[in-house]
Structure 1
């Protein structure tokens, strides 16, 4: 589902040309929009389930992202919620452009079981990507991340801690992700968007990002205002 806002439409490097009649083939065309704009988790999941089986999910996502406002975003569109679309924008800011056609393959009946298996077994997107490549699929991390989102997973950039690793998530951010936090900050990304990129959106995520930036500044690293 999309919100058309022509005044805020921007081009996307990964956006494919969208046929003007694609909406006539969408599975949600006869559905009530409430689920797509609900903040209730079960209703959002119901909306996402429709998206995953939709033949025009790629076109829908491209259309939705062209319509998203730079700050305010609403609803599930193209199988992704607003925070995931924020994260995808920062992925592209770093040069990570997903292959949406391949992501669609990963959530097809042939590969969905493998995707779910790897989400359970691997602690990181890097691990999932390496496993898919061993299976013979040429994929990158951001493409796997989109597929994980489409299948209902979190697709976090922050890896699950190894058994025995007792660090807090804030300590993990400082230890393992300070470089990318600072890089995104230098590129002009807001703290809330960096938190979405990492996969820890909301107030707590933004506070964690702020703490990393504060520590970086205290360590003598010059940061943009």
Structure 2
């Protein structure tokens, strides 16, 4: 904002007051280290995620952070999600799966966080967690549950794999083949799809390339 400096009669630029939601952001507290939101340290990232989970404006922050993400370049933790999680969320939306952020926020509230934590331990898939929460009376979908798990510090992979490349290839070439082909046709990179699947980048890219090469040969 520009005002007229009365003494010098020259224009002076001052910072406009931040929007109301930013004033209430938990990361503005003096006991929260801002560097934690842009560090590669796992300990720092864990502290940042924990701060976000307590923030009253986590949904507003996520929406604004995502609006500032550009193409494949994104960095830091914003709105409770790191760069890979935000990229995975973008691909979810490419597939028509949009989260209900207010419902996700409810799931990390004191009333439901314990239930969510128990389901993370007992269920091997987002599908299983979603079914259980629906039986509890909550109208949730898998991508909403996925965001809530991310916010609560979990990994929330799309695939329930055993950690070896062979099992991942089987899933990529099986039940996940159709959405993967759709994402590829929309321009998603192998690394993007690995983030969407929720698997390590190197392992995921290798499994995707090998499996899709076999699909192309068969066709």
Paired residues in the alignment total 199
Query: What's the secondary structure of 1:211's corresponding residue?
Result: helix
Question: Aligned partners of 2:131 and 2:166: how far apart in 1?
Answer: 25
Deviates more, 1:182-191 or 1:51-60: 182-191
Match of 1:193 in 2: 192
Query: What's the secondary structure of 1:28's corresponding residue?
Result: helix
Query: What's the secondary structure of 1:175's corresponding residue?
Result: coil
Structure 1 runs of 4+ aligned residues shifted over 6 Å read: none
Question: Where in structure 2 are there 5+ consecutive unaligned residues?
Answer: 1-17
Aligned positions of 1:1-16 closer than 5 A = none
**Higher normalized contact order (CA 8 Å, seq sep 6+, divided by chain length):** 1
Contact 2:36–2:48 at 8 Å: present in 1 too?
Answer: yes
Query: What's the secondary structure of 1:168's corresponding residue?
Result: helix
What TM-score comes out, normalization by structure 2 length?
0.86
Aligned positions of 1:83-102 closer than 5 A = 83-102=84-103
Larger radius of gyration: 2
Match of 2:136 in 1: 135
Question: Where in structure 1 are there 5+ consecutive unaligned residues?
Answer: 1-18, 221-225
Contact 2:161–2:167 at 8 Å: present in 1 too?
Answer: no
In angstroms, what is the RMSD of aligned CA positions?
Answer: 1.8
Aligned positions of 1:44-83 closer than 5 A = 44-83=45-84
What TM-score comes out, normalization by structure 1 length?
0.84
Q: Deviations over 1:86-133 (max 9, x none)?
A: 000000000000000000000001001111111111111111000000
Match of 1:16 in 2: none
